Amino acid sequence: MARWLRKGVFPAAIVAAQLFLLTRNAAWAGDGFLPRGLTAGHGGRVVAVVDGDTLRLDDGRTVRLAGIQAPQLPGVRDGGPRGRARAPRGDVAPWPLADAAKKALAALAQGKFFALYFAGRRRDRYGHLLAQVVGRDGVWLQGRMLALGLARVYPFADNRTVTKTLYARERVARAARRGIWAQAFYAPRRPDTAQADIGSFQVVEGRVRAVAVVRGTAYLNFGVNWRNDFTVKIPKKALKKYHDVHGDPLTLKDRTVRVRGWIGSENGPMIVLTHPEALEVVGVGPHEETKANKKETDKGR
């Protein structure tokens, strides 16, 4: 991987040449993505790239790369939890590496035919398709953008099928500090600073100090005072799914977890966990990955 990509430096003259080499390197040929459990849809040829995770096809349809979020350009976010993630702290400028992500996706996709695969909800609130996008040469656009460090996993409760595979690609890029992972802007937030990010989609990493289950709803508390510290709430309707994937949430006490979602305000900053894939068990100490996570990471290499 080129040094400028690892460090997140994208001089304009270098971007085109380096992306040309990266996206055509034989070592990248095919991504090993098998769309198991997905439903094939009608594909199309890409005629325009809107941003780092949005394409326009030759029949006029717009396709969002389901399950990932690339750095945002101005004017393409709606600030709601069912759509685009709003820039933290009310920023209106492009997010770092937004232009680079768009150029990378264009280098991968422009003018090519792609198959579309669906899991769960097929359209967002704007009528854009939500699909896994795979080329005739086996290039899986979501996996490639994550591996380049130009997107992060953005899971939803009704689009969960390939989330584990997406995380594996993200972990490799994060460990190598590629692209966005060399930028403080995208670093996981600490629980004690989450208050500043209320109203935005974030990744928060920290140690669970206490766990309580109250009337079928689980609460993961990250501070000494649950009335105003950062909390993860697992509603009753999501708790069974959580048990199926992670086991008993009570075992998370003193574990370090990484959770992503929209930060709301309920007795302090809170993320409501609607699906288990939004939480990763990192380990017993900061940044110490579990064996299960490491196994998934190795698959993504």
Q: Where are the domains of the chain?
A: 3-182, 188-290
Q: One digit per residue, pLDDT tens: the chain, 301 residues?
A: 444 444 444 444 444 444 554 555 433 446 777 778 899 999 999 999 999 999 999 999 999 999 999 999 886 544 444 344 444 444 567 899 999 999 999 999 999 999 999 988 899 988 999 999 999 989 999 999 999 999 999 988 777 889 989 999 999 999 999 999 999 999 999 999 999 999 999 999 999 999 999 999 999 999 988 888 999 999 999 999 898 888 899 999 999 999 999 999 999 999 999 999 999 998 764 444 444 455 454 555 5
Interstrand relation of 62-65 and 129-135 (parallel, antiparallel or unpaired)? parallel
H helix and E strand count, the chain: 7, 14
Q: Which CATH number fits the domain 188-290, given the four candidates 3.40.50.300, 3.30.450.20, 3.20.20.100, 2.40.50.140?
A: 2.40.50.140
Same fold flag, 3-182 and 188-290: yes
Distances (CA, A) of 62 to 44, 120, 140, 250: 10, 18, 17, 43
- The pTM assigned to this predicted structure is 0.79
Residue 290 is encoded by which pair of tokens? 């579990």
**Residue 1, pLDDT score:** 45
The type of residue at 169 is R
Indicate the fold that domain 3-182 takes in CATH.
Answer: OB fold (Dihydrolipoamide Acetyltransferase, E2P) (2.40.50)
Residue 160 is encoded by which pair of tokens? 């969960």
**Residue 236, pLDDT score:** 92
Q: How far, in Å, CA of 95 to CA of 85, rounded? A: 11
Backbone angles phi, psi at 39, to 5 degrees: -110, 125
**Residue 13, pLDDT score:** 44
**Residue 92, pLDDT score:** 62
